Amino acid sequence: MTKVTQLKKDFDRKDFNPGASSLKIACWYFISALFFRSGLIPFSAVLVFILRAFGAKIGKDVRIKPCIYIHYPWKLTIGDYSWLAECRIENLAEVVIGKNVCVSQKAMLLTGNHDYKKTGFDLITKSIVLEDGVWIGAKAIVCPGIIAQSHSVLTVNSVATKNMEAYAIYQGNPANKVKDRVIS
């Protein structure tokens, strides 16, 4: 077997479990494209209803904006009074969003990556937790395995590559703590 053939064989491994049947995944793909990513339905209550129907656990008075991308709703939990803008949730693993959380426009929650040390670039997935009161700024990226502790902030266009302390503001790429968050 040549190196190229072995690489293709390693890359095509199917050991990832999406957590749903192929039929459910296909249905979600079409519903997501038609109603979520297109922005056709601008009503948060309808989008929340559809997400719950596909297995998302969503609290009360949650706002979901049109043009959002959610990879697998059955791997998503959102607490009360949270607000998700036109962001991208690549949740190959669980994403848990607490109460009163804001995920701003074009932000990305990324639970998957590939192991560059392996010839097959094996998929690595790790959950993300955004605790109560967290704010993820516009175009910010939260990498796999991150825990954003209570009321932490990731500023615009920043990249969280390590856990974020409670009541702290993070900025940059990679994001570093720049100051404490004081809420009055």
Alpha-carbon span 103 to 122, nearest angstrom: 29
**CA-CA distances (angstroms) from residue 29 to 33, 35, 67, 70, 107?**
6, 10, 14, 10, 21
- DSSP three-state, residue 22: helix
Which residue do the tokens 């700024």 mark? 137
Q: Per the structure, how many domains does the chain have? A: 1
Query: What local confidence, expressed as pLDDT, does residue 7 receive?
Result: 47
What pLDDT does 42 receive? 87
Taking Cα atoms as reference points, which of 2, 178, 148, 173 lies closest to residue 82? 148
Q: Is residue 180 part of a domain?
A: no
Give residue 162's pLDDT: 98
pLDDT tens, per residue, the chain with 184 residues: 555 544 444 444 457 889 999 999 999 999 999 999 998 888 999 999 999 999 999 999 999 999 999 999 999 999 999 999 999 999 999 999 999 999 999 999 999 999 899 888 889 999 999 999 999 999 999 999 999 999 999 999 999 999 999 999 999 999 999 999 999 8
The pLDDT value given to residue 130: 98
Contacts of 43 (CB under 8 A, 6+ apart): none
The CATH number for 145's domain is 2.160.10.10
| Range of the structural domain that residue 158 is part of | 20-173
The predicted pLDDT at position 120 comes to 83
**Is residue 79 a part of any domain in this protein?**
yes
Kindly list the distances between the CA atom of residue 10 and the CA atoms of 3, 16, 161, 174, in Å, as whole numbers in the listed order: 10, 13, 27, 31
Closest CA to 136 of 176, 97, 79: 97
Answer yes or no: are the C-beta atoms of 107 and 95 closer than 8 Å: no
Chain segment 11-53, per-residue pLDDT in tens: 444 578 899 999 999 999 999 999 999 988 889 999 999 999 9
Is residue 88 domain-resident?
yes
Q: Does residue 11 lie within any of the structural domains?
A: no
Q: Are 168 and 177 in contact (CB under 8 A)?
A: yes
**Continuous segment of H or E residues that includes residue 109:** strand 108-110
Is 10 within a domain? no
